[in-house]
Amino acid sequence: MQPVAPSVPVGAGSAHAAAVPPSTSPGLHHRAAFYNNDMDFGDLVSSQQEINGLSNEISRLESEVGHWRHIAQAQAMHSPDQAKICRLQCVIKKVQEDRNQELDNHQNEIAVLQNLRENKPGEIKYQHGEEITKLGEEQLKTYTVQREHLLTDLSKKARENRLLKRKYNKVLEITAAKGAALTKLQEEKQLPARCESSGSDASRRTIQNLSRIIREKDLEVDALRWQSQTLWVILQMSSGAGDGVGDVNSAPVEQLLEELGKLKQQVNNAQEWKPQAMSAVWNLQQEQLQQPQSQALADSDAHTKLEVGSTALVSGQEQRESRPETLQWEWVRVQYGQGQRRDTQGLLSGKPHTPASSLSSASPEASQLLQPETEKQRRSLWGKGATVGARRREDRWSEAIAAAPGQERREREQTNVEVRPLKEKPKGLQDLPEENRVGTSRGKETEHQAEENTDMKHSVTL
C-alpha cells in the first residue's frame, strides 16, 4: 500500500497538469475573440457554456483534492514515513495553487465576458443607429434633389401653361368673333331680303325681256318668211301673166323684189343675233355663279384651317393642364415617403415622430391646391362647350347652304357678296369691342398668373 500511495497523487498531479492547458486554452480563445470586434451573440452563448463547463471541472478538481487529502491523512496515520507525507503535502499545495490560479483566470475571463455581454448590445445598437441615420440622410438628399427637379419642372410647365392659355384665349376670341360674325350674317340676312328679291327680280326681268325679244324676233322672222313666200307666189303669177300679156307694168314687181331682199336680210340679221343673245345670257349666269362659288370655297378652307388649329391647341392645352396635376401628386407622394422615413428613424432612435399633424395639415393643403385646378377645368369645359356650340351652328348653316337648290344657293351667295361690303364698313366700330375683349383677357391672364404664383408659393412652403 505504501509504494502505491505516493504514485497516485503524482499521477493525479500530472493528470491535473496535463488537464490544465485545455482549461487555459478556451480562456485564450475568448480573449482573442474579445479583442476582435466581430464577435456576435452566438459566440457569447458558446463562451457562457464553456464557463459553466469550467466551473463544473473546478468543483470536480476540488472534490478530488479533498479526496486525496483524506487518503494522505489516513496513510500518514498508518505509516510513519515523514518524507512521503511532506512530498504529498507539497503536491497538494501545488495542486491548490494551480487550482487557485485557474479560478482567478476563470473569474477574470467571466468578468471580461460579462462586460463584453453588457457592452456589445450597446455597440451594436449604436452602429445600427449610425447606419440608419446615414441611410436617412442619403435618402433625404435624394428627396431634396427630386424636389428641386420637380419644382423646376413645375415652373417650366407653369410658363408653358400660361403661354398655352394665352393662345387658347386668342383662339376663343377668334371663335367668338366668328360666331358673332355668323350671328350678324344671320341677322343681316333677314334685312337685305328686299335687296335679294330686287336683285333676283332684276335678273329675272332681264332674262324675261331677252326671251320676249327672242320670241318677237322669231315671230318677225316667221312673218317675213310668210311675206316672202306670198311675194314669190305673186312674182310667179306675174311672170306667168307677163308671158301672155306684154304690156304689164314691172315697177311693182321690182318693188316687191326689193322688199323681199330686205326681208331676207332682216331674217339673216335676226338669226345671227339670236345665238349672240343666248350666249350673252349664258355668260351672265355663269359669272353670277362663279363668284359665290369661289367665295364659298375660300370660306370653307379658312373655316377648316381654323378648326384644325383650335383642336390642336385644345388638345395641347389639355395635356399641359394634366401634366402639373401629375407632378403635384408625385411631389405629395415624395413628401409622404419622407414622413414615413422620419417616422421609422424616430422609432429606431427611441424618439417617436407623430405624423398625424403633418397628414392632417397636408390633406386640406392638397385640397386647396386642387380647388383652382378644378375651377380651371370647369372654365375650360365651359369654353369648349361654347366653341362646340358655335361650330355646330356653323356646320348646320353650311349644311343648309349645301342642301339648298341651285337657284337658292345662287341667291344666298349673291346676298353674301352684296352684304360683304356692308360688313367691311363698320370695322372701326368692331375694333372697340375687340379692344375691350383684349383688355378683359389680359385681366384674366393676370388673375391666372396671381393664382399660379400663390399655388407655387404654397407648394414651396409645404
Give the residue from 82, 100, 131 where a domain finishes: 131
Q: For residue 324, count other CB atoms closer than 10 A to its CB.
A: 19
Tell me the pLDDT tens digit for each residue of 256-280.
Answer: 667 767 777 777 777 777 677 777 7
The pLDDT of residue 455 is 59
Q: 145 in a domain, yes or no?
A: no
Q: Are residues 120 and 259 in the same domain?
A: no
Cα–Cα distance, 60 to 193 (Å, whole number): 134
From the number of C-beta atoms within 10 Å of its C-beta (0-12, 13-18, 19+), residue 362 rates as middle
Q: How confident is the model at residue 423 (pLDDT cuts 50, 70, 90)?
A: very low
Neighbours of 151 (CB within 10 A): 15
Q: Is residue 332 part of a domain?
A: yes
Tell me, yes or no, whether 83 and 216 share the same domain.
Answer: no
Tell whether 117 and 200 lie within a shared domain: no
The confidence band for 186, taking pLDDT boundaries of 50, 70 and 90, is confident
User: Do 335 and 342 contact (CB within 8 A), yes or no?
Assistant: no
Q: Give how many domains the chain has, as a whole number.
A: 2
The answer on 202 and 80 residing in a single domain is no
Last residue of one domain, picked from the residues 109, 131, 153: 131
The answer to whether the beta carbons of residues 38 and 107 sit under 8 Å apart is no
Residue 462, domain member (yes or no): no
Each residue's pLDDT tens digit, 375-402: 665 566 566 555 655 666 666 555 555 5
Q: What is the pLDDT of residue 103?
A: 83
Whether 170 is in a domain gets the answer no
Cβ contacts of 101 within 8 Å, gap of 6 or more: none
Let me know whether 296 and 420 are in one domain.
yes
Q: How far apart are CA 391 and CA 176, in angstroms?
A: 10
Amino acid at 307: E
Residue 271 shares a structural domain with residue 395: yes
186 domain-assigned:
no
202 lies in the same domain as 122: no
Q: Which of 43, 51, 87 is nearest to 68 (CA)?
A: 87
Is-contact 317 189, C-beta < 8 A?
no
Q: Determine, yes or no, domain membership for 160.
A: no
Residue-range definition of the domain harbouring residue 48: 4-131
Render pLDDT for 89-142 as a digit per residue (tens, 0 to 9). Answer: 888 888 888 888 888 888 888 888 888 878 888 888 888 888 898 898 898 898
pLDDT band at 182 (very low <50, low <70, confident <90, very high): confident
Which of 131, 155, 171 is the last residue before a domain boundary? 131
- Confirm whether 212 is domain-assigned: yes
Residue 190 C-alpha from the chain's centroid: 48
pLDDT at 209 over 80: no
Q: Are residues 231 and 109 in the same domain?
A: no
Average pLDDT over residues 251-260: 67
The pLDDT value recorded for residue 1 is 31
Is the predicted pLDDT of residue 6 greater than 50, yes or no? no
231 and 119 in one domain? no
459/151 Cα distance (integer angstroms)? 9
In a domain, 448, yes or no: no
Q: Are the beta carbons of 313 and 164 closer than 8 angstroms?
A: yes
Shared domain check, 94 and 199: no
pLDDT, mean of residues 296-318: 68
What does the pLDDT average to over 228-243? 65
